Amino acid sequence: MLKINDINVYYGNIHALKGVSLDINAGEIVTLIGANGAGKSTLLKTISGLLKPKTGEILFENEHVAGKVPQLIVKRGISQVPEGRRVFANMSVEENLELGAFLRKDKKGIQEDFDKVFQLFPRLLERRKQQSGTLSGGEQQMLAMGRALMARPRLLLLDEPSMGLAPLLVKTIFRIIEEINQTGTTILLVEQNANMALSIANRAYVIETGKIVASGTAAELGQSDQIRKAYLGGH
Amino acid sequence: MEQFIQQLVNGISLGSIYALIALGYTMVYGIVKLINFAHGDVFMVGAFIGFYSITFLHLGFFPALLISMAACALFGVLIERIAYKPLRNATRIAALITAIGVSLFIEYGTIYIRGAQPEAYPNNVVPLKSIELFGVKISGQSILILAVSIFLMIVLQFVVHKTKIGKAMRAVSHDQDAAKLMGINVNNTISATFAIGSALAGAAGVIFGMYYTKIEPLMGIIPGLKAFVAAVLGGIGIIPGAMVGGLLLGVIEALVSALGGSLWRDAVAFIVLILILIFRPAGLFGKNVREKV
């Protein structure tokens, strides 16, 4: 579904992604794990079109999307839940969700997706008219996810959905990610919480200082000594 | 007492002109964090377009108002695309200096094209009688100015809160990258903001001409600065703040005049600016929004 071939991305002089390649098949949950500053968010921003790769290609459903503007990427069916939620704090929950469906014109479909999102996150329904800046961190995470789903994406990019959340809430969020996946949405999950990420993923990639250093099924990587030492806090 | 109320009415009329200009300042600041110092000159251009529409095209007040608003909207978009867009990622001081340059360019460009001589708005455009209210004579023009301003502000509130472009504007002003991830075209949204802000300045120009009669190419400087003070007074970036700030400043100035200090009115506006920057730098409506992580 998504095929990234040997992309190089720079921030000015800093070589942030060095020849990264990655594949995602339809229906999968793929996770990208790595430490702070390894290039995880950079990769997601590049897929979403916020950054342009200097070289390399990104194919989404066999079409070249590298370097395209974010609008086109969203239109093609890739939505992102950015790191730190980035909800529009000055707007209500409902308005945030409406913005998620910004490019869509099918009123009926949008209404259906409103219902779906509220079913997935009943909390958002309760707070529908509330300013999203007044929500708790967990609720903002739900809103950011709901907002991305309003675009009816076929591929959902999630950037550190567990960041700053209480362990119980992290569990809820991950259960919901699985639910979203079961309704047919492919997922690329970026996480520092490697344990949780590997527990729901089919496959995983490990990124270190801009390079993919390991990949395999989630089960394989979860058992690899090297990975356990570096990312799982295991012995 | 009668004179006091008379001055209050004058203050509200003047204040609604400030408010209309201040809205453009505040909207543009909200979305690109730029103090568009050329905004007062768009107001001037609006006044001239209105004037020529009335004198050469023999149009009435409302058609002239609409033409001026449309032309200023286009003008504002052109200014943004040509002068500011290339500097979007430059330092803020570079954009600010450019804005001052654009301002001077428009002022002296206008003088180059049509000369520096002032013009007088014909006073028969709106044949309105004065109205007696509580023993005070209120000119029909004052009422018309207030009505048009309030109407435009209501339309603006509707656009910003209920339409798709308005929501896009609020989203972009809050977080550009997040807005892009929604599929919002940031460039078009910024252009729309300039268009709306400039149209309001154009309307203010025509209203100003009607009310004060005399217009000239440098007329935008002082009202532009005053409107900037009004925007800061209300809280820059906050739309209702600009409305209230504008009206408040107009009333303060008029009352200072009423108390016999008409030579002090310009000074008072800037004293207000200094006081607000010392005691409430975020403005009357501003608050420090803390974000949750």
- Examine the domain organization and report whether A130 and A226 are in the same domain: no
* Partners of residue A163 in chain B, C-beta under 8 Å: 293
Q: Does the pLDDT at position B2 exceed 90?
A: no
- Examine the domain organization and report whether A120 and A219 are in the same domain: no
Closest Cα partner for A71 from B181, B91, B240?
B181
The domain tally of chain A equals 2
Rounded to the nearest angstrom, the minimum Cα separation between B166 and chain A is 11
Q: Cβ separation of A71 and B183 shorter than 8 Å?
A: yes
DSSP A120-169: H-HHHHHTTTSBGGGS-HHHHHHHHHHHHHTT--SEEEEE-TTTT--HHH
Could you list the residue range(s) of the whole structural domain that residue A234 is in?
A: 1-77+156-235
| Any B CB within 8 A of A10 CB | no
Q: Cβ separation of A100 and B182 shorter than 8 Å?
A: yes
- Examine the domain organization and report whether A59 and A168 are in the same domain: yes
Compare CB distances from B181 to A48, A89, A90 and report the shortest one's residue: A48
Task: Answer with the one of A132, A152, A172 that is the final residue of a domain.
Answer: A152
CA distances from A83 to A4, A22, A80, A159 (A): 21, 20, 9, 5
Asked if residue A152 lies in contact with residue A100, where contact means CB atoms within 8 angstroms, the answer is no
Per-residue confidence band for A224, with pLDDT thresholds at 50, 70 and 90: confident
d(CA B163, CA B157) in angstroms, rounded, equals: 10
Q: Does the pLDDT at position A42 exceed 80?
A: yes
d(CA A127, CA A145) in angstroms, rounded, equals: 15
Per-residue confidence band for B291, with pLDDT thresholds at 50, 70 and 90: very low
Q: Cβ separation of B293 and A50 shorter than 8 Å?
A: no
What letters, b where the CB count within 10 A reaches 16 and e where it falls short, cover B159-169?
bbeeeeebbbb
Closest Cα partner for B253 from B230, B228, B285?
B230
Q: Which tens digits make up the pLDDT trace of A166-217?
A: 999 999 999 999 999 999 999 999 998 888 999 999 999 999 999 999 999 9
Per-residue confidence band for A223, with pLDDT thresholds at 50, 70 and 90: confident
Q: Does the pLDDT at position A231 exceed 90?
A: no
- Let me know how many helices (H) and strands (E) chain B has, helices first: 11, 4
Residue A83 domain-assigned (yes or no): no
**Segment B69-98 mean pLDDT:** 96
Q: Cβ separation of A50 and B181 shorter than 8 Å?
A: yes
- Examine the domain organization and report whether A105 and A136 are in the same domain: yes
Token pair for B5? 């109320």
pLDDT at A37: 87
Tell me the torsion sign for CA atoms B262, B267, B269, B274.
negative
Highest mean pLDDT among A18-22, A227-231, B9-13: A18-22
**Segment B197-202 mean pLDDT:** 98
Residue A82 domain-assigned (yes or no): no
Q: Cβ separation of B171 and A103 shorter than 8 Å?
A: no
- Examine the domain organization and report whether A73 and A160 are in the same domain: yes
Number of neighbouring beta carbons within 10 Å of residue B75: 23
**Averaged pLDDT score across all residues of chain B:** 92
pLDDT at B292: 43
Per-residue confidence band for A136, with pLDDT thresholds at 50, 70 and 90: very high
Q: Cβ separation of B182 and A136 shorter than 8 Å?
A: no
pLDDT > 90: what percent of chain B? 80
| Any B CB within 8 A of A166 CB | no
Q: Which tens digits make up the pLDDT trace of B209-246?
A: 999 999 999 999 999 999 999 999 999 989 999 999 99
Closest Cα partner for A172 from A138, A214, A206?
A138
Beta strands in chain A (DSSP E): 2-11, 14-24, 29-33, 55-60, 63-64, 78-81, 155-159, 186-191, 203-208, 211-217
Interface of B with A (CB under 8 A): 164, 167-168, 170-171, 174-175, 177-185, 289, 291-293
Report the amino acid identity of residue A218. Answer: A
> Could you give all domains of chain B from N- to C-terminal order, each with its CATH number?
2-121+129-279 (1.10.3470)
Q: Cβ separation of B170 and A88 shorter than 8 Å?
A: yes
Token pair for B87? 């500097």
Q: Does the pLDDT at position B293 exceed 50?
A: no
- Examine the domain organization and report whether A134 and A184 are in the same domain: no
Task: Answer with the one of A104, A129, A152 that is the final residue of a domain.
Answer: A152
Asked if residue A9 lies in contact with residue A168, where contact means CB atoms within 8 angstroms, the answer is no
Name, in order, each residue with C-beta under 8 angstroms of B76's C-beta and a sequence gap of 6 or more.
B24, B42, B194, B195, B197, B198, B199, B201
Instruction: Give this complex's ipTM.
Output: 0.93
**Averaged pLDDT score across all residues of chain A:** 93
